[in-house]
A and B are shown apart, each in its own frame.
Chain A
């Protein structure tokens, strides 16, 4: 209350100064009854000074009476303004505005208003925020608190740069209102430290200073301050700049939030696809998530199915730990090879592997890569069996089938459990081919062969009947590759 009255008193005195100056000019003649009003007004104003810093409630009460009296005289003068010297009449609107309320326009000097640049950024939003007001003068802190409190902002004050930096370390602040001239750590240095701090860099800063410090204000703007206000400042401009700062902060916060979400969804995509997609395909999905339809689409892919012949029988004669060891060695190696060839592993069914080439990303050499992958897988069996032999585990024989056809690819399942999977007749056909494949063989369908470059040695064709289709499926064993 005392601080408010004190700052109001200061602004009233500022607003009276022009009237006093004009009235003192000999060239300005003042006729009755205005002369008496002006004398009474100036006399009343003279009584402000001795009281304005007093904290006693009687003096506060007297001050309010003085303000009331000054206002009465000013209103009388204003009523007679047409009979007044224009130089006097001119000073009245400003004075009346300041007198009408402590929250009215507080610019003591109209020319300051005219010279004030428009805010760099304005905002119509009146969203309240948390404002840190840093000023070494208690009356300025009180004034800012009162003005911004009207707009429902939460105002936290600091009386020094040191205190401000301490508060900024613990408090989530939307805008910092920073006085330039302070003892100790000044406004410019607080700004500099904020900009050097990753966590505070984005918090908007509005500098406050006198006109005489314009050079330093420009330096502060260059150093990253968002805006500035000149003292004595206009409450409307203050709110406009604070609102703009809050809006800027909100944008930044939303952006950060969005970035966090993206990071989370990237993690999700990596976790979901990383297990059965190569890293560069995952990278590609992340780079253009909208370019990749995971919701379900019909596409041509080359399907690979592999199986270890006789594994079920084999596993019945082995202790469970050895079965797991055998499977993990085999599946681990196969997974690496498939991913190296940019295949998508759809699932493991016991010893069987289902992989797809051409989804989620389609390329021209899907069938070619699939066959090369199959050859590499068969070649790896030698190594795997050598290791098995060392461990006293049985030798494995793998059959591999490849088929090219249309499948529906997409995230299949329920919300609780979904996976990128494939459905379609081509899957069944592949399964049929795989049944027909001999141990150590790579058997491919006619449709896959049609997609291959002429670099493979292909064995004698065979025909298979497949349940559900009339025509026979023609298959070819792959015997080797020339390059």
Chain B
């Protein structure tokens, strides 16, 4: 993945996971910016127009569900693909995530090759 494809916004409040994912995604060739809550995430989406957002749904200040719905309602950023990251591997969560406007869904613990696959499909 070349840098010309733009940056990926990683929204994750847990610093351990954020550090790990930044490290992993960087090694996979991605340029990353980070946010630790839903409000900052929306701000960074507007400022940087990332090629894709990886969003943990359980966030402080403004949770992932609200952030996604607001992003979808904002014409400037409504077409940015979002992959929801959640800890609950339940079908209802998958549907909630897709209903809220997410394009994809990945459960924690994250299956990294699968996540890379989803990222690449959405960026293209």
| Chain B residues with CB below 8 A from A99, complex form | 109
A76 to B25, CA, bound (A): 10
User: Do residues B112 and A69 form an inter-chain contact, with CB atoms below 8 A?
Assistant: no
Contact of B16 among A36, A37, A69, A76 (CB under 8 A): A69
CB distance from B111 to the nearest CB of A (A): 10
Complex interface bits, B53-97 against A, C-beta within 8 A gives 1, otherwise 0: 000001000000000000000000000000000010000000000
Q: Are B27 and A69 in contact (CB under 8 A)?
A: no
B58: chain A residues within 8 A (beta carbon): 61
- Please give the number of chain B residues whose Cβ is less than 8 angstroms from any Cβ of chain A in the complex: 15
**B23 interface contact, C-beta 8 A:** yes
Inter-subunit contact B24/A69 (CB<8 Å)? no
Quick check: B27 and A72 within 8 Å, CB to CB? no
A76 contacts B17, CB within 8 Å?
Answer: no
Contacts of B19 in A (CB 8 A): 40, 69
Candidate in A37, A64, A65, A69 with the most chain B CB atoms within 10 angstroms: A65
Are A64 and B27 neighbours in the complex by a CB distance under 8 Å?
no
Cβ of A47 within 8 Å of any chain B Cβ, yes or no, is: yes
Which residues of B are found within 8 Å of A47, using beta-carbon distances? 16
A68 touching B17, Cβ below 8 Å = yes
**Interface: B48 (CB within 8 A):** no
Taking A71-B109, A75-B112 as contacts, is the C-beta distance between A62 and B14 under 8 angstroms? yes
Q: Mark A70-103, 1 if CB is under 8 A from B, else 0.
A: 0111011000000000000000000000010000
Interface size class of A (residues with CB under 8 A): 20 to 34
Question: Taking the nearest CB of chain A, how far is it from the CB of B22, in angstroms?
Answer: 10
Contact across chains for B87 and A73 when beta carbons are under 8 A apart: no
A67 at the A/B interface (Cβ < 8 Å)? Answer: yes
- B108 at the A interface (CB under 8 A): yes
Q: Give residues 47-75 of A contacting B (CB, 8 Å).
A: 47, 61-62, 64-69, 71-73, 75
Are B87 and A69 in contact, with the CB atoms below 8 A?
Answer: no
- Minimum Cβ distance to chain A for residue B30 (Å): 14
Question: A387 on the interface (CB 8 Å rule)?
Answer: no
Q: Is the CB of A40 within 8 A of B87?
A: no
Answer whether residue B123 sits at the interface, using C-beta atoms and an 8 A cutoff.
no
Task: For B19, give the chain A residue with the smallest CB separation.
Answer: A40
Q: Determine chain A's interface SS by DSSP, over half rule.
A: helix
Are B110 and A68 touching (Cβ within 8 A)? yes
Alpha-carbon distance A99/B20, docked complex (angstroms): 15
B21 on interface, CB distance cutoff 8 Å: yes
Most chain-B Cβ atoms within 10 A of its Cβ — which of A40, A66, A72? A72
The answer to whether B23 touches A65 (Cβ under 8 A) is no
A100 to B96, CA, bound (A): 26
**A354 → B minimal CB distance (Å):** 80
CB distance from B114 to the nearest CB of A (A): 12
Q: Does A291 contact B (CB under 8 A)?
A: no
Min CB distance B98 to A, Å, is: 22
**Residue contact A61 to B87, C-beta cutoff 8 Å:** yes
Binary flags per residue of B8-45, CB closer than 8 Å to A gives 1, else 0: 00000010110111011001000000000000000000
Please tell me if A44 contacts chain B, counting CB pairs below 8 Å.
Answer: yes
Q: How far apart are the CA atoms of A61 and B20 in the complex, in Å?
A: 17
Q: How long is the Cα–Cα vector from A79 to B87 in the complex, in angstroms?
A: 24
Chain B CB within 8 A of A295 CB = no
Rank and list the top 6 A-B pairs by shortest CB-CB distance, nearest first: A72-B20, A69-B16, A65-B14, A69-B20, A68-B109, A69-B17
Additional 17 contacts, C-beta under 8 A, given A40-B23, A65-B17: A33-B23, A33-B27, A40-B20, A44-B20, A64-B87, A64-B109, A65-B16, A67-B109, A68-B20, A68-B110, A69-B16, A72-B23, A73-B20, A73-B23, A75-B24, A76-B27, A99-B109
**B residues whose Cβ falls under 8 Å from a Cβ of A:** 14, 16-17, 19-21, 23-24, 27, 58, 87, 108-110, 112
Q: Can you report 20 residue pairs joining A to B where beta carbons are below 8 Å apart?
A: A37-B23, A40-B19, A40-B20, A40-B23, A61-B58, A62-B14, A64-B87, A65-B17, A65-B108, A66-B16, A67-B109, A68-B109, A68-B110, A69-B14, A69-B16, A69-B20, A72-B110, A73-B23, A75-B24, A76-B24
